[in-house]
Amino acid sequence: MIIKSSISNNIKGAIPECATASEYLERVKSQFTGSSKAYAATLTEQLVTKRYTGGSIREHILEMSHMANKLKTMNMPLPEPFIVQLVFKSLPKDFVTFHVNYNAQTEEWNLEKLIAMCVQEEDRLKTPNGGQLVFNV
């Protein structure tokens, strides 16, 4: 009775009567197994197709990292270098040179370094002349 009182009425109606509490909880769990797979599929689709459309690049990368962490809790961990490449693929064409420079390096970045470097690149792109010094004579 205590378990049933803490569960939503919609869920209670979908679960048949059970003799024990453990059997009841097992049936509740089985009701959500399919939906967690569907959620993982949706989350994966969002992560792979996500694009940076403006705003804070730091928040964009953190949001992608958060999606990857959710997948990890669903027993679908993604390697960090793969997430780094997904972030690069989500960036607009303004970051192409930045991505080429990363690929030319032997060092692999973690997400923290990627955020720091992307924020720096974003600031450089926002400055007039792309951060180049212009001297007037």
Domain extents for the chain?
36-131
Cα distance between residue 59 and residue 44, in whole Å: 18
- Mean pLDDT of the 25-38 span: 75
Cα distance between residue 66 and residue 59, in whole Å: 10
Cα distance between residue 44 and residue 50, in whole Å: 10
Is the C-alpha dihedral spanning 119, 124, 128, 129 positive or negative?
negative
* Tens digit of each residue's pLDDT (9 = 90 or more) over 55-76: 899 999 999 999 999 999 888 9
pTM attached to this predicted model: 0.69
Cβ(64)–Cβ(46) below 8 Å: no
Cβ(41)–Cβ(35) below 8 Å: no
What is the pLDDT at residue 38?
82
Residue 52 dihedral angles phi and psi, to the nearest 5°: -80, 120
| pLDDT at residue 137 is higher than 80 | no
| Chain centre distance of CA 90 | 12
| pLDDT at residue 16 is higher than 80 | no
DSSP 8-state code for residue 75: T
* Tens digit of each residue's pLDDT (9 = 90 or more) over 33-54: 666 788 889 999 999 999 999 8
* Tens digit of each residue's pLDDT (9 = 90 or more) over 76-132: 999 999 999 999 999 999 999 999 999 999 999 999 999 999 999 999 888 876 555
